[in-house]
Amino acid sequence: ALDARHPSEPLDRFLADAEERLRSAADDAAAALERDSADALRRVPLACRDALRLRDDAVSLRSHLASVLQSLSQAEGSSAESITALARIDTVKQRMEAAYATLQDAAGLAQLSQSVEDVFSSGDLPKAAETLATMRHCLSAVGEVAEFANVRKQLEVLEERLDDMVQPRLVDALSNRKVFLTNLIYIC
């Protein structure tokens, strides 16, 4: 600091000015420190309140998340139970539909068994063949039910009868080269 002094300036005056500047800087620093300390002391309670509020919010959020997770767990459990129940219902429905189809086939078989003679009497070979195919399908659907054993025998007799009706016409069509009639008989 002495190097900054002008040579013509007295040393006492220079030191007094330097002391005054130092005192002024110290007063300014003390005032600034006091202001900043007062501001900090005012902010500390606000920061403490904010920290407490954030902690309370975190506790509340944790509690809310726990209840949401519990609700999800319960919903998952009830959903799994519902899916299991729906699967059982679907299985029962499929069995009922299969039983219904079998009963329909049985009813159709009984009706066909009674009306097949009329079809054969009409001489309509394609219709007779279709009726016998339907009877065979219905018999396979009802399985080995004892009540339809006579229908199974009736079907065998009727199939032989259809063969006996078709063979002479087929031989005639082949020998006379009636291709259209051969195709029609073959379809039967």
Structural domain boundaries in the chain? 2-75, 97-187
* Closest to 181 (Cα-Cα) out of 126, 118, 101, 112: 126
pTM for this entry: 0.45
Query: In sequence order, what DSSP letters do the residues of 6-74 get, joined into one string?
Result: -TTS-HHHHHHHHHHHHHHHHHHHHHHHHHHHHHHHHHHHHHHHHHHHHHHHHHHHHHHHHHHHHHHHH
* Closest to 164 (Cα-Cα) out of 119, 120, 118: 120
* Location of structure tokens 């078709």: 166
Which distant-in-sequence residues (6+ apart) come within 8 Å of 172 by Cβ? 178
Per-residue pLDDT of the chain (188 residues; tens, 9 = 90+): 566 667 777 878 878 888 899 999 999 999 999 999 988 888 888 888 989 999 999 999 999 999 999 888 888 877 888 888 889 999 999 999 888 887 887 787 778 888 888 888 888 888 888 888 988 888 888 777 777 778 888 889 888 988 888 888 777 766 776 655 555 555 55
